Amino acid sequence: MKSCIIETALGWLGLVLAPAGLRAVTLPRRDRDAALREVLVVGACEEARADELGDLPERLRRYARGEPVAFPDALDIAAATPFQRVIWQAARGIPYGQTRSYGWLAAKAGKPQAARAVGQALAANPWPIIVPCHRVIASDGRLGGYGGGLDMKERLLRLEGAAGHR
């Protein structure tokens, strides 16, 4: 696997590329070394060439500046369970600047009582921002959880101008 560390307005991001697609994106970190440590944990041992990532680094920088950006990139989902795949795909469909509830995602997966399992699937999401799990909140408007902490979730929602999070 190969990696690339990029600086954005949100912080340093690590990208991990596998032959089947993007394997992981780290949450924003304060310094390059912290992002590098995370990509090494995922198993990236070689630096990716710029052409291997296409314009993904620039799109992530634009996103971090508050621009609506699409992320149609191929993801390496080989290690995901079928339920995670359904949840992550549904989360990818949540439009920029909007939120959906854990229950909404559970219903999309055909398991309307599985909101808690949705939270667990989102907690295992290796592509924050690309699979925008920060856009998933509790049905009563509370933020719920987030691997990067609630401050980061709130920051991403404010960046996108999500209703109720300005």
Q: Which residues are catalytic?
A: 133
Of the candidates 95, 66, 84, which has an alpha carbon nearest to the alpha carbon of residue 122? 84
H/E segment holding residue 25: strand 21-25
Instruction: Classify residue 78 as exposed, middle or buried by CB count within 10 Å of its CB (0-12, 13-18, 19+).
Output: exposed
Contact 73, 56 (CB under 8 A): yes
Task: For the beta carbon of residue 40, count every other beta carbon within 10 angstroms.
Answer: 13
H/E segment holding residue 24: strand 21-25
